[in-house]
Structure formats: structure tokens, C-alpha cells
Structure 1
Amino acid sequence: MKASKSFHRPAKFWPVLGFATLAGMRSMSAPAFASHYLSRQPHTGLAGSSLRFLQKPFTAGLLKVAAAGEIIADKLPGTPNRIAPEVMAGRLLSGAVVGAAWYKSRHGSALGGGLLGAAVAFASTIVSYAFRTGISEKFGVPVALVGVGEDALVLAGGAALLRGQRPAAAEWHPM
């Protein structure tokens, strides 16, 4: 059986789908998880790139604090909906940055990874907003309480995504 190029996709494509999905749910979660991983598994693909800051442990720490702050701020009554233009823009940027950095770290196209990340973050934002408001309306549960469940899903999903990654420094080539 001949190996196809699709075997190379998981190293870049699928993780970006996962990170960008997180970005649509919690904008700071995607860069926090990606930076956590990249700071422990630096890769030469980011050398000389403006995205290399994501590999710095200090950046990973700051992004984790920002992600925790977002989890809290999300429950406050004055927080705008995720589909508000300024909030949506932040989610698209988050997905784009993480997608670009992940692709670049794997010697791929930062532009391609960024576009994929932004597109998936957009879709995830719309879908997660619909689920959150739909669950709240259908079951009469406060939106903030549904948000707590969403937080748990983001944290568990991010942890699972990181556990499933091969170390960036290892060059894996299928037979």
C-alpha cells in the first residue's frame, strides 16, 4: 500500500482545527494551550519568525493568566456576546495566530495556517454561541451556568489536544 500525502496532514491540519475551535469558544484558550506546548517543545520552524514569541515560557505564562481572566470575565453581565464584531475579531485573530504559528512550526505556510485558523474560529464562534444560547433557552438555565460547562469542555479539549501531539522536534515520516 502506497503512503499518501494525507499522512502528513495530522501534524499541522488537525491540531489547527482543534486549536481554532477552542479560539471560537474562548479566544485566549487557543494561544494559551499552543504556547504552553510550544514553550516546552520549541521547533526550528519558528526560528526567525515573528511568531517565535509563542515559544517563550514567559509568553505561555501570560497567556494562561489571560485565559483564566477570560473565563471569569465571560460570566460577567456586561460582557458582550461572542458574535459582537469586536469580540468576533479577537476570536478570528486568535485562531489566525495559533494556526499560523502551528503551521510555521511544522515548516508549513504561516498564511495557510492563519487562514485555516481564522475560518475555523469563525465557525466555532457561531456554533458555540448557538449551542450556548440554545441550551440556556431550552432548559431555562442561565447563560453563565452553561458557560461553566463550556469552560470545562474547553479545558478538557485543550488538554486532550496537547496530549495527542507528537513532540515538535521529532521529525516523523510515515513509510
Structure 2
Amino acid sequence: MSLLVFAFLIGVIAGLRALTAPAVVCWAAALSWLPLEGTPLHFLASPITRWIFTVLAVGELINDKLPKTPSRTAPPSFIVRIITGALSGAALGASQHMLVGGLIAGAIGAVAGTLGGHACRVRLVKATGGKDLPIALLEDAIAIIGGFLIVSHLP
């Protein structure tokens, strides 16, 4: 599979959970699955960056379950997802000298993940009689496991 497909997919993960994608990318860089040395995004391999994104991602997982959390399709949230999808996709692309292509693919994936994830969650919540928490937890698992599957199988 092409690296740009992986960049798109990590963008989809950002659309599901905005901060999970960059946290996963940071861990991939730390585990040497994603070579970022010598690229403009080498800072993602830093322990400080990795832990900041990890703490923020855990906070997002908790915040998503709160009743007053705005929709992911609200402009501020949507924009953050596009930015983190683009950053994460760019990191995957940068590892193989395709930074701009990865950035674009990641941003497009974030749009698809945001809109598709929202539509799926709404339908699944309706199908389960309005129970949001189980669907939110399922979405968390998909984002975390999917993110690690993506970065651990890079071409």
C-alpha cells in the first residue's frame, strides 16, 4: 500500500480523535517505526513532545464523554482535527521524503474521519437506543488500535 494511503488513514484517526493521531505518530517515532531524523518534523520523536501529546490525547478521551463537549463538526474542533491530521500525515510523508503529499493526504483523511465518524456515531447511538457511552468507547478503541496498526505497518 502507498505511503499516501497510510497518511490518509492516520488523518482519519485524527478525525475520530484529534490528539490520538499525533500521539501515535510520536510513539512510532520513539519506537523507531517512523524515521524522522533529518526531517523538519524530527521534534515529534522528542520525549517531551511525545508525553505532551499523550497527556492531551488521554484528556481528549475523557473530555469526549462529558455532556457539554461540542460536536466534532463544530468549526474549532473540525479545524483542530484537520491540523492534527495534516501534521500526522506530514510526519508519515516526511519519513519517505513526501512531506507535502502526506500533509495533504492527512488533512483530507481528517475531513473524511470527522464527517464519517460523526455520521457513524450518530447512527450507532440511535441503533442502541440513545446510549452514547458504549459507542464513544468503541470509537476510542478504533482510534487507538487503528492508529497503532497504521504506524506499525508503514511501507
Please report the TM-score for the alignment, with normalisation by the length of structure 2: 0.90
Cα 1:100–1:48 shift into 2, 3 Å: closer
Aligned pair 1:87/2:88, yes or no? no
Instruction: Show the counterpart of 1:170.
Output: none
Return the offset for 1:165.
Answer: 3.1
Contact 1:46-1:101 at 8 Å conserved across structures: no
Instruction: Show the counterpart of 1:158.
Output: 147
Return the offset for 1:137.
Answer: 1.4
1:112-131 alignment runs, 5 A limit: 112-131=101-120
Instruction: Show the counterpart of 1:137.
Output: 126
Aligned pair 1:36/2:27, yes or no? yes
Cα 1:130–1:33 shift into 2, 3 Å: same
Return the offset for 1:95.
Answer: 0.6
The size of the alignment, in residue pairs, is: 154
Instruction: Show the counterpart of 1:75.
Output: 65
> How large is the RMSD of aligned CA atoms in angstroms?
1.7
Return the offset for 1:139.
Answer: 2.2
Identity %: 31
Residue among 32, 38, 47 paired with 2:38: 47
SS in 1 for 2:66: coil
Return the offset for 1:74.
Answer: 0.3
Return the offset for 1:102.
Answer: 1.4
Instruction: Show the counterpart of 1:3.
Output: none
Contact 1:82-1:88 at 8 Å conserved across structures: yes
Instruction: Show the counterpart of 1:172.
Output: none
Aligned letter for 1:69? G
Q: Which runs of 4+ in 1 moved over 3 A?
A: none
Instruction: Show the counterpart of 1:19.
Output: 10
SS in 1 for 2:70: coil
Aligned letter for 2:19? M
How far does the alpha carbon of each residue in 1:117-171 deviate from its partner, in whole angstroms, 9 at most, with x for none?
Answer: 11111011101100101111122132233101111111221232233236xxxxx
Return the offset for 1:80.
Answer: 0.3
